[in-house]
Amino acid sequence: MKSNWNYPTTVWVGENRINDLGEACKNLNISKPLFVTDKDLVNLPFIKKIISEISKEFKKLKIFSNFSGNPVGENVDDGVEEFKTNNCDGVIAIGGGSALDVGKAIAFMSGQKRPIWDFEDIGDYWKRADEKNISSIIAIPTTAGTGSETGRASAIINKKAGIKKIIFHPKILPSIVILDPKLTVELSPRLTAATGMDALAHNLEAFCAPSFHPMADGIALEGIKLIKNSLIIAFKDGKNIEARQNLLAASSMGSTAFQKGLGAIHSLSHPVNAQYNIHHGLSNAIFMPYVLTFNRSSIEKKIISICDYLELDKNFDSFLSWILALRKDLEIPNTLSDVMDCSKFNLEELSLMALKDPSTSGNPKKIDKDDLKLMYEHSISGELFK
C-alpha cells in the first residue's frame, strides 16, 4: 500500500518509502543536507543503513546527533552551528518527536538572528522571524506518537527556566514527510505503548477542545478509531505492518487536528517532562483518566459521540472503562507515583507552570492553578474524580 497525500503537507506513505529519500531531497533542491537524529538512534542498524544509502547520493553527508529525549535549546544551537559550518541547505530529520523537533528547529533557526525563545507560541511572536531563510525539512518518524512531522511547532526545553517551550512558525512544517511503517517495527512494546497513547491524547484533546473546527474534529475522530483498532495489535506484534501504518497515520492526524487546541493532559505533562525527564507519551497516558473525569461535565456529550463511532456503549463511563483497560493492556502505570518519587514535588510550582502552558487555554473546562494542583494530586494518589 503506497500513496501520496497533500494534507497538511506532502506525505509519502507506504512500506519501503524510505527508499525515496533521495528523490525527496531532489524535489526540494537539497544538495547538502544535515542528517538529524538522536544519539540513541544514530548507531542502530536500520539508521546506519539509511545513512549508508543516502551517502551514496551525498558524498559529504553531515550528521548531527548530539541530543537525546526532551531536547534543550543548547541542542538546537549546536545543530545550527553544524548546519552553518558545513553550508547545509536543508534538514533530514529522522526519529521520534525529539529528533523531529530538533531537526525542524535547526532548519528554522539557521536563518534567524534572534534567540529561539523569541519565537515561543505566544500571540504573533512568529512574525518576528525572517521567513526567507528558513531551510527545507524532510521529516521521517520512527515512532507513532508526537506527530511532529505534520506540526508547525517544536517542543524545546528552556534549561535555564526549566520549562518546555513551544516554538512556532508556519514554515517549520516539513515540506515532505515519509511515513514508512517498516521504520517502526523494531520499536519496543514499551515505547509503542507510550507513543501510541501520546497520539491518542492529541486526537482526544483536539476533539474535546471547545473551538469550532469541524475539519479537525473529523480527523481526530478517525485518528482515535485507528488507535483503538491497531495499538494493542502493534504492542503485541510489532511486525504487523498494517497496524504500524495505521498508528503512523493516527499520529500525523493527531498533530494535524490539535491546531484546534489541546488541554490539561498536556498542561500537566509539559512541566514534569521538563523538570523530571519523564517520557511525554507516558505522562500523557498517566494523566489521561484524571483529566477526563475532571472535565466530564464539559465533554460528556462529545465523549458519547466518540463512543458511537468506536462501537462502545454510548455513555461516558464506557469510554473511561475503555481508556483504563487500554492502559492496563499496554502495561501503563496507573499513577505518577508508580514511575517516580513524588514526595519532593513542589506542586505549587508545577501547577503554576501548568497554568501558564499554552495547552491550558484549550481545555474544555475553565481551570485555575488550584484545579491543576488537584489533578496532580489525583494522578499521584490514583483517585479519579467523581
Q: Among all chains, which residue has been given the C-alpha cell 502552558?
A: 357
Hey, what's the torsion of the CAs at 75, 143, 308, 328, to 10 degrees? -100
Phi/psi-derived region of residue 98, left when phi > 0, alpha when psi is between -120 and 50, beta in every other case: alpha
pLDDT of 59: 87
Q: Between vectors from CA 77 to CA 69 and to CA 153, what angle results, nearest 5°?
A: 60
For the chain, the domains span: 2-183, 187-381
pLDDT of 5: 82
- Crossing angle, helix 296-310 and helix 280-294, to 10 degrees? 110
Distances (CA, A) of 38 to 132, 179, 223, 284, 319: 28, 18, 27, 22, 36
Instruction: Evaluate whether 222 touches 306 at the Cβ level (below 8 Å).
Output: no
Q: Between vectors from CA 13 to CA 307 and to CA 49, what angle results, nearest 5°?
A: 125
CATH superfamily for 187-381 is Dehydroquinate synthase-like - alpha domain (1.20.1090.10)
Q: Topology of domain 2-183, per CATH?
A: Rossmann fold (3.40.50)
In tens digits, what is the pLDDT along the chain, a chain of 386 residues?
788 888 899 999 999 999 999 999 999 999 999 999 999 999 999 999 999 999 999 988 999 999 988 899 999 999 999 999 999 999 999 999 999 999 999 999 999 999 999 999 999 999 999 998 899 999 999 999 999 999 999 999 999 988 889 999 999 999 999 999 999 999 999 999 999 999 999 999 999 999 999 999 999 999 999 999 999 999 999 999 999 999 999 999 999 999 999 999 999 999 999 999 899 999 999 999 999 999 999 999 999 999 999 999 999 999 999 999 999 999 999 999 999 999 989 999 999 999 999 999 999 999 999 999 999 999 999 999 98
* Closest among 210, 4, 209, 164 to 69, alpha carbons compared: 164
- Helix or strand or coil: residue 364? coil
pLDDT of 259: 92
Q: Report the C-alpha gap between 225 and 15 in whole angstroms.
A: 22
Pairing of strands 136-141, 90-95: parallel
pLDDT of 71: 94
